[in-house]
Chains A and B, each alone.
Chain A
Amino acid sequence: MTGAPTAIYLDHQATTPVDPRVLDAMLPWFSETFGNAHSEQHAWGRQAAEAVDAAREQVARLIGAEAREIVFTSGATESNNLAIKGATRFALRHGRGRHIVTLASEHKCVLEACAAMEDEGAEVTVLPVGADGLADVQTIVEAIRDDTVLVSVMAVNNEIGVVQPLAEIGTLCRERGVLFHADAAQATGKIALDVDAMKIDLLSISGHKVYAPKGIGALYVRRRPRARLLAEISGGGQERGMRSGTLPVPLVVALGEAAEVAGEGLAREGENLAALRARMLARLQDSLDGVFVNGSMERRVPGNLNVGFTGVNAETLMADVPELAISTGSACTSASVEPSYVLKALGLSDADAGASVRIGFGRFTTENEVDAAAEMIVRAVQEQRAGGSARAAE
């Protein structure tokens, strides 16, 4: 990377690099074997359509679905919008309910999609989470009403990495005849997912969180029992009418390959990431006092660490380690100076929320990078606490 030869990237929950295997798979589809996958009457189109079919199989396999249950989208934000608004609008139109249940710690696009449905006549219950970031299944049971359409709970939180009890929530929703949507943008390819075992009806997938490029995602839409949606983008009727528009063949191929690569290496990669995280946390705790971890450590995706340093300003900390890419809060809201609403939902004070950073480890992170990053953070925290930060006064 120009201008940043020594920079260390530990922000893998914001976005991941494209895996070289994924890049190799997608590049020929730009110019060499291009085609519109919907032009199946000629050879170019058929070749593109076959590549799309293969990718659809790969994505389906990773989550235990059938290929025809996968709807390609431009990313997880679109998938979440389509799942929540599409299912709610279908229910509103057919008089099949008007209530949505979700969590206070959901991704912004889930909360905003729910809020948009309130404007169209739906009611939304936003449930709190525990101090560990986990949903209380009993609270969800109690929130479900006769007119509940959908429960939307993220599989893995984007800021604190906690894994929600998906199978329990899914079982409960199925018993009550309520759709269960899981935002799995941070979970796909990171933890084992099985839409049948977990009784998930709608599941959102992001490409760029799983070593595929930005601009591609998917929504799993269950066929039996069928989850019904109204499309947000209509037109040519692609993706079985649920999402119109020419499919971006190179990106679809990339997501398929990324799903396959992630599925093959899931267990091994998880162990590596857990070891890197343990190494980082040990380095920080050995050198610093007042280090606290946000969210459950036991039920957490291995690549995520969200850690606070008592008395420290995390924005200043980040500015003091310009060679290191970490974040406060999610990327979408990182320009905001407000403390993270996710950390606030865990019950953190403004000061503690404002003293916390997210450190995201990835497939290509090395032990040396972790050691160097830990050293930078330790030094910056120590300097700030000693009043030595050049920026502490700002």
Chain B
Amino acid sequence: MDIYLDHNATTPVLPQAAAAMADALARTGNPSSVHRFGRLVRRSVDEARESVAALAGVSAANVVFTSGGSEANNLALRGVADRAFVSAVEHASVLDAVPDADVIPVDGNGVVDRAALKEILAGLDGTAVVSVMLANNETGVIQPVAEIAEIVHAAGALFHCDAIQAAGKRPVDMRDLGADLMSLSAHKFGGPQGIGALVVRDGLDPEPLIRGGGQERRRRAGTENVPGIVGFGVAAQHEQDAANDYSAKLTGLRDDMERRLLAAAPDAVIHGAGVERLANTSCIGLPGVSGEIQVMTLDLAGVAVSAGSACSSGKVTPSHVLSAMGRDDEAARSAVRVSLGAETKAEQIDRFVEVWSDMARRRDTGAHSRRSVA
């Protein structure tokens, strides 16, 4: 167990975030309490809210803390409009939050088809929300979100952007993205699990999912997860400072890795390689070997990657993302996601390339079943 290349599933908590959380965990107090214990804790929540707001380019009042990205996506979509439209490559928490939504197709690289979007939205009546993610969790493909936002707004609809995989890896200024609602999750970029946020522009009021006390300006009840919020704030602050280094460092490492994989197995496919992607993500298809077998083989060699997203990793269905990109079942089943982190070292990539190349060679000599286990 030594090489972790599954950062899109979760990341280790940054040391400075962990230290801030340890302090917060040592302080007693409910931020809603009016006594000094409560007030001190309230102050740490306020400071963290400022940091998250700065990451999103909004005011603190626009940030609604949630238990994570899935809740943020559900909150954004379940109670904001009569109709919903989602891209075919969205995360399960978007697709399942609005199961009756109309689906917007994507092209072979996984990019939303803007002409199709315009057609779908033509003659829209009543309230509607359109949800398109900034970066895909499986392929890392970046959507032309600002352009999509213009189309959506021209049609009179609201635009929700799931920026969960993008945050900490590239800018997520909500105004630049043109989003009315934006979801964030801390544990995807060095913050803790169990905390996220829905960023809501002024004047919008999504129907609360969780009701009770008046926390989060009545938009999300429940005693605030203070240590989680504090860790989220520190991670947001850090990522704002470090986002540029991150991309510069990881793009080179990732691109070099992909070149070597393709040299070892010329029929391998990098899904979404034709367009802009997150610097850390690579979705690699190895024809003839199922994603599950690849992940298991790599796991035995001490390398952690995933087949598809973590939430669906127990399932053996083909990736809905790759299917939406027009890949056949065989191709959609034979891909793995490799996601690097800020702390990933070149030697770790070397080792991964070695194990993967060996796997590809064994495929060619018939050591692997040609058929997928699924």
Interface of B with A (CB < 8 Å)? Answer: 1, 4, 6, 9-15, 18, 21-22, 25-30, 32-38, 40, 66-71, 73-74, 91-97, 185, 187, 192-195, 209-215, 221-228, 292, 295-296, 298-299, 302-307, 309-314
Contact = CB atoms under 8 A, between A and B. Distances in A.
A47 B1 CA distance: 11
Given A236-B309, A244-B93, A246-B187, A7 B37 contact: yes
Contacts of B192: 30, 248, 250
Contact of B222 (A45, A75, A237, A325): A75
24 contacts: A30-B21, A36-B193, A41-B295, A44-B6, A44-B304, A74-B68, A75-B222, A77-B213, A77-B222, A78-B67, A214-B225, A235-B94, A236-B92, A245-B71, A246-B70, A248-B228, A327-B33, A331-B30, A331-B32, A332-B32, A332-B213, A332-B221, A334-B34, A335-B32
A74 B32 contact: no
A38 interface: yes
Most buried by A among B4, B22, B187, B311: B311
Contacts of A78: 67, 210, 222
Contacts of B222: 74-78, 109
A216 interface: yes
Interface stretch (A8-16, A159-167, A272-280): A8-16
Interface string A21-43: 00100010011001110111111
Contacts of A318: 34-35
Given A41-B299, A77-B222, A248 B194 contact: yes
* Interface residue SS majority, chain B: loop
Most buried by A among B214, B225, B226: B225
Contact of A14 (B38, B66, B68, B224): B38
A30 B310 contact: no
B35 A39 contact: no
Contacts of A137: none
A386 interface: no
B37 A40 contact: no
Contacts of A11: 30, 33, 35, 37
Interface string A317-334: 010001011110011111
A347 interface: no
Contacts of B313: 38-41, 45
B212 A235 contact: no
Given A41-B307, A81-B212, A244-B93, A34 B32 contact: no
Contacts of B33: 11, 14-15, 325, 327, 331, 334
A95 interface: no
A58 to B, nearest CB: 18
Contact of A81 (B34, B38, B94, B211): B211
A238 B227 CA distance: 23
Contacts of A34: 10-13
A59 B144 CA distance: 46
Contacts of B306: 39, 41-42
Contact of B9 (A15, A45, A206, A213): A45
Given A45-B313, A213-B25, 14 more contacts: A14-B38, A15-B29, A27-B22, A42-B299, A44-B304, A75-B225, A109-B212, A109-B222, A214-B225, A235-B70, A236-B309, A246-B69, A327-B34, A332-B215
A45 B311 CA distance: 11
A233 to B, nearest CB: 5
A35 B10 CA distance: 6
A332 B310 contact: no
B304 A31 contact: no
A112 B35 contact: no
Contact of A41 (B210, B214, B296): B296
